[in-house]
């Protein structure tokens, strides 16, 4: 019997929720939990055209917005790259983003993703 589209998404969403929890736990200071506001970061919305944060990624999972793990990883990388673009290398935000990006790359490297996909079949 063929699996319904909904089944596929349920497995994928369970996978993505798991990845989000692991990555989110690394952000102990909460710098990536919510959208950055211009109030805290002057000029942020003009410098960063595609903002991303963990709460937005969580909402996208619940709305079935991610077709696969690659799309989820792209949003994660966007979130880290935004922080390394807006903030200078000597800031706590730039350094936190770099560390987070390294964790994500290990967690979602090509082989791991292949393994995930096989487990979804
Ligand atoms: C949701 O975003 C945040 C939430 C809380 C904090 C925060 O607790 N900042 C205090 C630590 C020194 C002030 C910072 C941020 C924050 C993230 C960021 C990012 C991710 O660029 N940021 C940049 C400039 C100024 N503040 C921030």
How much is the pLDDT for 79?
A: 98
49 lines ligand 1 (CB under 6 A): no
How much is the pLDDT for 2?
A: 65
User: Is residue 10 predicted with pLDDT exceeding 90?
Assistant: no
- Of residues 57 and 113, the one with the higher pLDDT is 57
Tell me what the pLDDT averaged over the chain comes to.
Answer: 93
Which numbered atom of ligand 1 lies nearest the CA of 79?
A: 20
User: Which among 43, 18, 35, 1 is positioned nearest to 108, based on CA atoms?
Assistant: 18
pLDDT digits (tens, 9 = 90+) for 18-67: 999 999 999 999 999 999 999 999 999 999 999 999 999 999 999 999 99
Question: What is the rounded CA–CA span in Å between residue 84 and residue 87?
Answer: 6
pTM, two decimal places: 0.93
40 lines ligand 1 (CB under 6 A): yes
54 lines ligand 1 (CB under 6 A): no
CB neighbourhood size of 85 (10 A) = 11
Ordered alpha helix ranges (H), 43-91: 44-47, 54-62, 69-86
């Amino acid at each position: 019997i063929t699996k319904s589209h909904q089944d596929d998404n349920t497995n994928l969403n369970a996978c993505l929720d798991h990845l989000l929890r692991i990555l989110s736990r690394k952000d102990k200071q909460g710098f990536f939990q919510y959208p950055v506001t211009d109030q805290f970061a002057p000029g942020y919305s003009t410098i960063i055209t595609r903002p991303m944060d963990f709460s937005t990624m969580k909402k996208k999972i619940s709305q079935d917005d991610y077709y696969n793990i690659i799309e989820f990883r792209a949003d994660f990388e966007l979130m880290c790259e935004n922080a390394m673009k807006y903030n200078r290398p000597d800031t706590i935000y730039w350094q936190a983003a770099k560390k987070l990006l390294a964790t994500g790359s290990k967690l979602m490297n090509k082989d791991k993703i292949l393994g995930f996909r096989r487990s979804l079949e």
